Structure 1
Amino acid sequence: MKKVLLILSHDVEDVEALGTRALLRRAGIEVVTATFQRSLSITTAFGLIVDVDAHVEEVDIQTCDMLIIPGGKYVKETIDLHDKMQVLAKAFDDLDKPIAAICAGPRFLGRAGLLDGKMFTAFPGSEVDMQHAKAYVKEKKALTDGQLITGKSAGSLYEFVFEIVSFLISKEHAQALLKQIEY
């Protein structure tokens, strides 16, 4: 069974975090949630209280097949305060493990230099941190370039999850998932 590490934080975008978790679990992928926060209980951007599985430093990333970074208000609130997310993303990259980020989440990848020479999509305005990327493809809802998967926004959740499941398992499995939910 494939296993992903999904980062949760206060003010994470509900759909991007919880929708991704739900659909990946439905696809048969183990989802471990982790946070950089002190508490293992976070409040999403729209007020849902969510229990998190672990603190990031407690997770053995070598056992994870992918890192997933959702967007939300927390990105703007934390990206200039510390580089913990960038360090984590670089650690996954150093292990040659794929990374998926949606909405403003790709900003962390841009700051880490992981989008250099890559095509990506993100929430409009988020491309500010990706000056060395190959191309910002704003019309795409989700895309994969090498080991990186990016999604545009909460409105592109299904396409984002499709890319993740296709990458980790198969395109056929991803198509079956979307058919199962009548997408």
Structure 2
Amino acid sequence: MTEITNAKILIMATDGFEQSELQVPLTKLREAGAEVHVASPEGREITGWDDKNWGESVPADLSISEASVETYDALVLPGGQINPDILRMNEEAIALVKGFADSGKVLAAICHGPWLLVEAGVARDRNVTSWPSLRTDLENAGGKWTDAEVVTDHGIITSRNPGDLDAFVAKIIEEVKEGRHDRQAA
């Protein structure tokens, strides 16, 4: 696996995140050498959703309000239905997503995570994918939706579901190695 030993990556989530969509990037990005932190709304431990029931808990390293775009090279947004639906109502979470988009730093969202891209107003004119039920939301927000394992548009990475995690994480590593991306404001 490609090394990203100097990278700092933030995963933002709350209770109800899709278990594998947080755990797999957390583990694989750390294995690649990145320093990875988890931010939750209150900076407390959060519990995942695994199949049809509550899953395992993950400790948070900081609260969303403590997270700074300047500190990190990338922001990862796990899906699950509950997690992004709660976060898209959190003004600090949306400001952080917008901040990463505006900075040109890597912004990665999987499954229902692209709801946060919609809410932050950064899906417009972007090539994106997601869980199929978000297609209309993304298209209504001006996104160009495609059914593909991973879609990248100037450092904004999206994937559909847990089956895409290997490609999703590999693309995060590749894009972090590339550094900042030039983007036109959406």
TM-score range relative to shorter protein: 0.7 to 0.9
Q: Kindly tell me: are residues 3 and 150 of structure 1, through their superposed partners in 2, closer, same or farther at Cα, counting changes over 3 Å?
A: same
Letter of the 1:49 counterpart? S
Count of matched residue positions in the alignment of Structure 1 and Structure 2: 168
2:8 aligns with 3
Q: Deviations over 1:37-74 (max 9, x none)?
A: x3511111132021111111122320100111010132
1:176 aligns with none
Question: 1:32, CA displacement in angstroms?
Answer: 1.0
Structure 1: gaps spanning 5 or more residues: 171-183
**Match 2:21 to one of 11, 16, 21:** 16
Which secondary structure state, in structure 1, belongs to the residue aligned with residue 17 of structure 2? coil
TM-score (norm 2): 0.83
RMSD over equivalenced CA pairs, Å: 1.8
Structure 2 residue 49 is matched with structure 1 residue 45: yes
Structure 2 residue 106 is matched with structure 1 residue 102: no
**Match 1:62 to one of 53, 59, 70:** 70
Write the distance in 1 (CA, Å) between the matches of 2:60 and 2:38: 5
Aligned 8 A contact 2:43 2:62 in 1: no
* Counterparts of residues 110-149 of structure 1 (less than 5 Å): 110-130=118-138, 131-138=140-147, 140-149=148-157
1:174 aligns with none
Aligned 8 A contact 1:7 1:33 in 2: yes
Write the distance in 2 (CA, Å) between the matches of 1:61 and 1:17: 19
TM-score (norm 1): 0.84
Q: Kindly tell me: are residues 79 and 56 of structure 1, through their superposed partners in 2, closer, same or farther at Cα, counting changes over 3 Å?
A: closer
Structure 2: gaps spanning 5 or more residues: 1-5, 179-186
Q: Kindly tell me: are residues 77 and 116 of structure 1, through their superposed partners in 2, closer, same or farther at Cα, counting changes over 3 Å?
A: closer
Aligned 8 A contact 1:8 1:52 in 2: no
Q: Deviations over 1:114-150 (max 9, x none)?
A: 1111111100111232224342111x11121112000
Write the distance in 2 (CA, Å) between the matches of 1:119 and 1:32: 27
Which secondary structure state, in structure 2, belongs to the residue aligned with residue 6 of structure 1? strand
Write the distance in 2 (CA, Å) between the matches of 1:51 and 1:152: 25
Q: Deviations over 1:86-137 (max 9, x none)?
A: 2211111222222100000011102222111111110011123222434211
